Structures are given as structure tokens and as C-alpha cells.
Amino acid sequence: MHVGKTLFAQVMEFLPWTTFHRIVDRYRGDHRVRTLRCSEQFRCMAFAQLTYRESLRDIEACLSAQRDKLYHMGLPQAVSRSTLADANESRDWRIYAEFAQRLITQARKLYATDSFGLDLNETVYALDATTIDLCLSVFPWASFRTTKAAIKLHTLLDLRGSIPTFIHISDGKLHEVNVLDLLIPEPGAFYVMDRAYVDFDRLHALSQAGSFFVTRAKKNLNARRVYSEPTDRTSGVICDQKIVLNVARSHHGYPEQLRRIRYRDVETGKRLVFLTNQFHLPALTICALYKCRWQVELFFKWIKQHLRIKRFFGTSENAVRTQIWIAVTVYVLIAIIKKRLNLAVSLHTLLQILSVSIFEKVQLLEALTFPDSPEDLNDHRNQLQLFNF
């Protein structure tokens, strides 16, 4: 039996703590802090994410029940909920946002050669946003409607490894298309978006930067056909055209030609119209690229189900942003562990295992590795027989 570090301590060793302390010093996060430094706050919040804690009282109770193991978690003493609440309210959320970005850089390097279903060498991003509903009386700073509060999580997802490379947290009123102004386009990369991001001025800025976009056309698109490529309708591609926008305002925003592809889904019979500035890839590849956009929807569904970003431990904007960024850090950390240990199980399975065995003193690889065959599960040669039949 392994009598060394707990699983929680072994998971935390995958984090670049030197980088973390450097970021804390830059933002003076530990200035005049007597108890619960930023690293200890991060550990408490990461513990809450890994073990599905629901409240500050829940975190306090669970940590107090393991007082003899707190030192090995990096916590010198038991943590009270009021101290943790004060830390979430006052410590600059940018500390954890910048730390998450450093981990994201590491994760993208690990997953750079992974396939996302298409044979493309270029980087492919999926851009979308999800809304997290809040109570207006408790979160008045996150105004959305007259009787409702909400925040939006705008995410740019690298489809290789499903790693979020850009996250912007806003109130519910910010429209998705405005996030295009915050992005720094990557030349040669693909940006896959839904119809909410169709703004021809912004799309032209992406094209001028050397990036490619794939999106769906709105129903009221007014354009004229310039040229039609021959297509095989049995493949689902109805037409592959070069078009020019007719409306003066739209044409002024995007004066160049666009590629319009009409596609009929063979399985559902649904007709879709795609717009792109990529003229060389086959039409079916463009359609498949847009289908890959669904991965960002799955990412939102995953983090809402398996991380704590719908129920918050604080009510201020700083506390909410801190919790979301630490949740993103935990997601990326689990993805890094999965890759470095070469594990075949899903991220969901890894989180489930850690949630019930976080204080166990076993080797991390041993705890996260399943037997190769079903027979190994029943190998009890060292066990005494309880019943003899």
C-alpha cells in the first residue's frame, strides 16, 4: 500500500506553482494577508471543484473532517467559510485568469497533434457563448432583463483536445458578435461560428487578417451569384457558389466575394446554407467543419454538469469570476493529467474517481488506471473465502 502523498497532493503537483507565485506577486495578491494566501485559496476552491461541493459551509465541513490531512494538501490549518468568502471577494480574479491561460498554453502543446475528425493541418476554433442564469436580487451587477440576472461565458475552443483558448465573462446583455472585437485573429486558422456572429464588417476583418471563417447564412441574406461550381447532389451538396452581397451596407462591410454552399442533410433532410471565405477546400469539408462546431456545445454542457459554475460561493463579480476561472483551470488540469499519464478514460471518469478518493494515499496512475481485462476485477487470490458452497 502506498503511504506517501494523497491523490489531491499528487494532482496539485502538475500545476506550475512557480508561475502561480510570480503572478500573485505581480497583482500583490498576498499583500498584508495573514491567513489563507492565494495558493491556499486556490487549493480550497480546486478541492470544491474536484469533489462537487455545493457551498462554503460544505467546503468547511469536509475540510474540517480531514484535519490531519490538511497539511499535506498545502493548508496549514482548517479553513473557515468566512475567511474563504473574504478571499473570494477581495483577491483579484485576474490572478486565476492569467494562471488558467498559462495552463491552457501547456495543454494546447500536449494536444497539438491530436485529430478532431478532419484531415486538416490548420488550427480550427469553435466560437460560441452560453448563458448562466442568476438571481437579480442577489447578483444586481449582472443585469440581463427587468426581472432576471445572468452572465455569459464566451468561449473560443480549440477543437484539438477541446481546450478553451479564449474566455470572456460578461453580463447577459452583451451580444455574441461583439466578442469578435476582442479576438486576436490567427492567420491560417479556421473560426467556426453560428449565425449569431454574422457581421460582415467583423468577418471582413477576420479575412483581412488571413484567417478563415465558416458560418451559417441568415435567412434574409441578399446576394447575387457570380459563379457556380459543379456539384454532386447525391453527396448532399446542392450548390457551391461564389457570391457578392447586394445590400450597400453589407457590401461596404464585406466588398469581396464570399463562398455560399447549400447543403441538404441526408439523415434529417434539413437544408443548411454556409458562408465562408475559404474557396479551395471541398464543399463537403466545409460542411464537416461546421458540424464540428458542436464540440463547443458539448464543452458547455460538460462544464455545467461536472464543474461548479452554476451555483456560486460568493455574490460579487470578483467572486463569480474567480470561481469560473478556477473551474476552467481544474478542467484544463485534468486534461493535462490525462495526456501526460496517457490515460484512455474520459475526463468525466477521471473526475468521478478523484471525487471519491481525493484523500486516498495511492499512486495517481494506479488510481486512474482500470484493469486490462474483466478477469482482473475478480482476482482475489489473497482474499479468504467468506462462504463455501
Judge whether residue 201 has pLDDT over 70.
yes
Threshold 0.75, pTM exceeds = yes
In whole angstroms, give the CA distance from residue 265 to residue 287.
10
Q: For the chain, how long is the longest CA-to-CA vector?
A: 87
Q: How far is CA 101 from the centre of its chain?
A: 11
In whole angstroms, give the CA distance from residue 111 to residue 100.
16
- The pLDDT assigned to 377 comes to 42
In whole angstroms, give the CA distance from residue 9 to residue 75.
11
Model confidence at 311, pLDDT cuts 50, 70, 90, reads: confident
Residue-wise pLDDT for 246-267, tens only, equals 999 999 999 999 999 999 988 8
Domain boundaries, the chain: 7-95+315-369, 194-282
Judge whether residue 2 has pLDDT over 70.
no
Looking at every residue in the chain, the average pLDDT score rounds to: 90
Lowest-confidence pick of 1-15, 259-273, 348-362 = 1-15
CA 143 vs CA 137, 146, 176: distances in Å: 10, 8, 16
Model confidence at 373, pLDDT cuts 50, 70, 90, reads: very low
Crossing angle of helices 294-306 and 317-340, in 10° steps, is 110
